[in-house]
Amino acid sequence: MTAVSLVHCETYDPDRVKAAVQKLLKPLGGMRAFVRPGASVLLKPNLLSARVPEKRVTTDPALVKAVATIVREAGGDPFIGDSPGIEPFHRVIAKTGMKRIAEELGIDLIELRDPRPVTLQNNALFRNLEIASHALDADVVINLPKLKTHTQMLMTLGVKNLFGTIVAQRKTEWHYMTGLDRDVFASLLLHIYEAVGPALTILDGIWGMEGEGPGNGEPCQLNLLAAAQDAVALDTTICRLLGIPLDSFPLYRAARAGEIGETVPERIEIVGDFPLSFRIRGFRVPKLDSLRILPGMFDGFAKRYLVSKPVQDAGSCAGCGECALACPAHAIELLGHHLHFDYDSCIRCYCCQEICPRGAIGFKKGLLVKLLNRFHR
């Protein structure tokens, strides 16, 4: 059996968060089961973009502080690291509260750079990856994701958070190579998860995000912390708690197909607080569009007429140009405050919607989605 620990926590009060994390880890053997004295420990939060913690886009600094403190008490040497996709690291760590936490604790806060090649197993879909060296050199990696929806991958939880160990500019390259197929991208995420090999994943779900995540959804209070050695089992458990059909979750499908992690609910033991008390009704997930329904030769026709496409809300646009910088296909041109989308080049990777700080990019439903919605599919 694979254990997933759950506890209630209703506030980001530092003392209460620390007590909740200690309770969370107790059934798993406590922090000393994962951290030996003198070990260097990378704490990998979700630092998607420069948003204040109240936007619920990033891992709350109170959780990072609590975990860092408990790691120290176990004799470990913690440091915080991530690689935001587009925005400057100094802006992200200041806005999210991570710089303040690192200074309070006197620990290093590092932008994950210096990619190092990693060769995966022969049966891996992607044989060669480049992972940030700090993630590979740390004695222990503790993964600290945020519970959020994701317009491309349905949910971003434990496994997807480790995409942040891919150095910034290489993220867009991977989006370009896999953006037309969610299951292929999910397989990539699982390969990254295996390469990094986190010893422990602790999920911040005290406040999460529903709707059009991961950057522009609605904050929602869930009062939940979760932890597991197996991030696939954790992600599977969270989807079930939220009432999300597992087969609709691309990462679950890819994990089951690749036999990575535990995907069979009957083999996952939930420990800690009573699981039925976490059942959350009405959690809103985004409606995912079909990115490829015809053979490759018809991609241009399908993308232009059948699938959804990004559109600008001109009234909300600040003209910052971050969407154009984020676009891996170079399909966006900013002309004043007007965005021109090259829909033939657009790969529907949702990077523009994800990175926009004003929520000024939405999606116009394609004919296929309109038909599926009409038939409640």
Task: Check if the beta carbon of residue 89 is closer than 8 Å to that of residue 141.
Answer: no
Structure token digits, residue 6: 């759950």
Q: Please check whether residues 366 and 252 belong to one and the same domain.
A: no
Q: How many Å apart are CA 172 and CA 351, to the nearest integer?
A: 8
Q: What is the pLDDT of residues 15-54, one digit of tens each?
A: 999 999 999 999 999 999 999 999 999 999 999 999 999 9
Going from the C-alpha of 162 to that of each of 22, 48, 151, 323, the distances in angstroms are 23, 11, 18, 22
* 82 domain residue, yes or no: yes
How many other CB atoms are there within 10 angstroms of residue 254's CB atom?
Answer: 24
pLDDT of 284: 96
Mean pLDDT value of segment 168-195:
81
Look at residue 227 and tell me if it is in a domain. yes
> In this predicted structure, what is the pLDDT of residue 180?
64
Rg from Cα positions in the chain: 20
SS3 string, 194-259, reads HHHCCCEEEEEEEEEEECCCCCCCEEEEEEEEEEECCHHHHHHHHHHHCCCCHHHCHHHHHHHHHC
Do 170 and 309 belong together in one domain?
A: no
Nearest Cα to 42, choosing from 12, 2, 4, 83? 83
**218 lies in some domain:** yes
pLDDT higher than 90, residue 7: yes
Would you give the end-to-end CA distance of the chain in angstroms? Answer: 34
Number of domains observed in the structure of the chain: 2
Reply yes or no on whether the pLDDT at 233 is more than 70: yes
Is 287 a domain residue?
no
CATH number of the domain that residue 242 is part of: 3.40.50.11440
Spell out the SS3 assignment of 323-363: HHHHCCCCCEEEECCEEEECCCCCCCCCHHHHHCCCCCEEE
CATH number of domain containing 318: 3.30.70.20
Please, what is the Cα angle at 166 between 133 and 283, to 5 degrees? 130
- Residue 365 reports pLDDT greater than 80: no
In angstroms, the CA 46 to CA 204 distance is: 10
Tens of pLDDT, residues 301-335: 555 555 678 899 888 899 999 899 888 789 999 99
pLDDT digits (tens, 9 = 90+) for 64-121: 999 999 999 999 999 999 999 778 999 999 999 999 999 999 999 999 999 999 987 7
Same domain as 319, residue 241: no
Q: Give CA separation, 31 vs 17, 65, 108, 357, in Å.
A: 15, 14, 20, 36
| Domain contains 283 | no
Q: Which two tokens stand for residue 278?
A: 């976490």
> Quick one: 257 and 130 in the same domain?
yes
- What does the pLDDT read at residue 249? 97
Question: Residue 143 domain-assigned?
Answer: yes
Tokens of 274: 């009573």
| Pair 271, 305 in one domain | no
Q: Is residue 159, in this structure, part of any structural domain at all?
A: yes
Q: Are residues 259 and 363 in the same domain?
A: no
Lowest mean pLDDT among 98-102, 218-222, 295-299: 295-299
Give yes or no: residues 197 and 241 share one domain: yes
- Report pLDDT for 370: 56
Is residue 285 assigned to a domain?
no
Same domain, 255 and 316: no
Asked if 6 and 113 sit in the same domain, the reply is: yes
Task: Clarify whether residues 195 and 317 are in a common domain.
Answer: no
3 state DSSP class of 292: coil
Phi, psi of 276 (to 5 degrees): -65, -25
Task: Classify the phi-psi angles of 114: left when phi > 0, otherwise alpha if psi is within -120 to 50, otherwise beta.
Answer: left
Exposed, middle or buried, 198 (CB in 10 Å: 0-12/13-18/19+)?
A: buried
My answer on whether 181 and 252 are in the same domain is yes
Do 307 and 261 lie in a common domain?
Answer: no
Residue where one domain finishes, among candidates 219, 245, 278 = 278
Q: Which of 252, 278, 304 is the last residue of a domain?
A: 278
Q: Look at residue 299 in the predicted model and tell me its pLDDT.
A: 53
Query: Is residue 361 scored above 70 in pLDDT?
Result: yes
pLDDT in tens, 269-281: 999 998 888 778 8
Question: Residue 377: its pLDDT value, please?
Answer: 34
Domain of residue 50: give its range. Answer: 2-278
**Which among 214, 249, 278 is the end of a domain?**
278
